[in-house]
Amino acid sequence: MAVTKMNFLIKSLLSLQAILISFFLSGCLQFPATISDFKIMTTSQQELDGTPLRVTFFEVGLGDCILVETPTGEVVLIDGGVGWYCDLIFNYLESQGITRINSMIVTHPHYDHYGGFPEILERYKPDRFYHNGAPDFSSKYLELLNIVNKYKIPAQSLRRGDDLSSVFGPQVQSQVLYPNEKAVTLDSQDDFNDGSIVIKLVYGESSFLFTGDVEEDEEARLIELEGDNLKSDVLKLGHHASLFSGTVEFFETVSPQIAIAQGTQLADIYLFYPRPSYGIISRLKKLNVPLIYPKKDGTIQVVSDGKSCHWNSLTQLESTPIKLNIP
């Protein structure tokens, strides 16, 4: 019990440290990509055969923000960052002629995952809103839910086994792998990470695993629940690739071809709380898995036509093939 309380205290202090630093630096933030920039970046990518699935990992500083554009035209936003980077997201959507977001998913009620949603909801008014059902009563999260109610947007909590075919369309196989009911009946905001929504997408021979802020205990539970079903080509690392996530067993089970870390930009106090952590960098290197993150590579887009797959840096105009885990 003493160890658990000490871990909780350490996590709380580190989280507070990162938030204070991010607010201190927020006045110095720059948004690198305008509407015209994004038009140039996306048209210069290497074209793939077939109708593509595009997954964009935005450079939003401290938080997560992922846009999924499916081959049948569905547009899904998974998490919304802290809110300072909404213009970056709006610029990308406008550059691609996207005028509607079909679904929004907040993986868990921590501000670095839903902070941008109020502004995005006000502008795009999605058809559906999904959450993990955790009982959060903070003023900011209640503000978000009030906006959802104001526009009468259907809201639903997600659980392991839920069908998302209506969200991602018929060509993309989609699975909710987590949380189960037990994971979201928690009292502490710190433990909200434990109830993060975990989603796997499969398009043809390419696969993606989005893990929210899951940490080591939840990675072990996922291995127990899903086993080899976790195997995916593209892994979005849990909890911003911090020292609380990313075990060897989890990486070996997922067997990713690339690993992407979001939410690392404003927390690089490497002596105390490195993101990505030294352990994750070392473990991925030993497994020969490239580690990609927006702080280093800019806004990242992974494009798949179901047979081949590339990742692109939208700010560096580079395209790199991904070797798929084809059975």
Ramachandran assignment for 241, one of left (phi > 0), alpha (psi -120 to 50 degrees), beta (any other): left
The predicted pLDDT at position 206 comes to 94
Q: Which DSSP symbol is given to 234?
A: E
Residue 23 has pLDDT above 50, yes or no: no
* 168 part of a folded domain: yes
Question: Who wins on pLDDT, 13 or 177?
Answer: 177
Amino acid at 134: A
* 327 part of a folded domain: no
* 53 part of a folded domain: yes
Of 166, 159, 153, nearest in space to 133 by CA: 159
* 116 part of a folded domain: yes
**CATH number, position 86:** 3.60.15.10
The predicted pLDDT at position 22 comes to 42
Side by side, the strands of the sheet bearing 198-203 are 173-178, 198-203, 206-210, 234-236, 258-260, 291-292
* 77 part of a folded domain: yes
The predicted pLDDT at position 273 comes to 54
Pairing mode, strands 75-78 and 103-105: parallel
Residue 78 has pLDDT above 50, yes or no: yes
Per-residue pLDDT tens over the stretch 221-278: 999 999 999 999 999 988 766 767 778 899 899 999 999 988 755 444 444 455 677 7
Of 95, 83, 90, 84, nearest in space to 38 by CA: 95
Residue 6 has pLDDT above 80, yes or no: no
Number of domains in the chain: 1
Residue 114 has pLDDT above 60, yes or no: yes
| Average pLDDT of every residue of the chain | 80
* 31 part of a folded domain: yes
119: β partners: none
The Cα 322–Cα 302 span in angstroms is: 9
The Cα 198–Cα 174 span in angstroms is: 11
* Structural domain span for residue 103: 2-322
Task: Identify whether the C-beta of residue 204 lies closer than 8 Å to the C-beta of residue 306.
Answer: yes
SS3 assignment, position 267: coil
End-to-end CA distance of the chain: 44
The Cα 326–Cα 68 span in angstroms is: 22
